[in-house]
Amino acid sequence: MLKLTKKADYGLMALKYLAERPDTPALSAKDIADAYGIPAQLLAKILQQLTKKGLLKSHAGMNGGYALSKPAASISAYEVILAIDGPFFITSCTKGAHGCDLTPSCTIKEPLARVNETIAGVLKSISIQDLAEHEHPSGQAPEPKLVTLTI
């Protein structure tokens, strides 16, 4: 419950890895997979999905691989999760697929939808660059962000 998919997890790791090496033209899926110990074939598929959604640019052939299609600061964790796992909802009453059948009688779906929106806001406010820059050696506090929650 309320757990991130490992695929999304891996995707974030890969993007961070790319963000830390902005000068390299492209990195192959195998390179990134080896760097962390992620199953290579699985990572490959994840990167393909990210490419299809426009977050990455791919290049086949020798010395090919993947590169960010946007600056790291303008890629949010939300986009990544969305691209990999599809639209995400805290509850099962999504209106899209087969939602729960007691939607009409339910009285908490509106409040929960706000919570959903809030969490999405949290994810949206985190960029890949935030992840890549997470080293604060001198101990100074990084940028704190504010999220508003309205029940």
Residues that bind DNA (CB under 7 A): 1, 3, 5-7, 28-30, 39, 41-42, 44-45, 47-48, 51-52, 58-66, 85, 92
For the chain, the straight-line distance linking the first and the last C-alpha, in angstroms and rounded, comes to 22
Residue 100 found at the interface with ligand SF4 (CB under 6 A) = yes
Smallest separation, CB 63 to DNA (Å): 5
Instruction: Check: CB of residue 44 under 8 Å from CB of residue 14.
Output: no
Residue 126 is a binding residue for ligand SF4 (CB under 6 A): no
Nearest one of 60, 12, 66, 70 to 36, comparing CA atoms: 12
Contact 66, 56 (CB under 8 A): yes
Catalog residues that contact its own copies under the rule CB under 8 A.
1-6, 8-9, 12-13, 16, 35-38, 77, 81, 85, 88-92, 100-102, 105-108, 110-112, 115, 118-119, 122-123, 125-126, 130-131, 134, 141-151
Of positions 59, 73, 92, 114, contacts ligand SF4 by CB under 6 A:
92
Query: Measured at the alpha carbon of residue 78, what is the angle toward residues 74 and 3, in degrees to the nearest 5?
Result: 145
Residue 121 exposed, middle or buried by CB count within 10 Å (0-12, 13-18, 19+): middle
How far is the C-alpha of 58 from the C-alpha of 148, rounded, in Å?
A: 37
Between 30 and 114, name the residue whose CB sits nearer to DNA. Answer: 30
What is the nearest approach in angstroms of its own copies to the Cβ of residue 31? 14
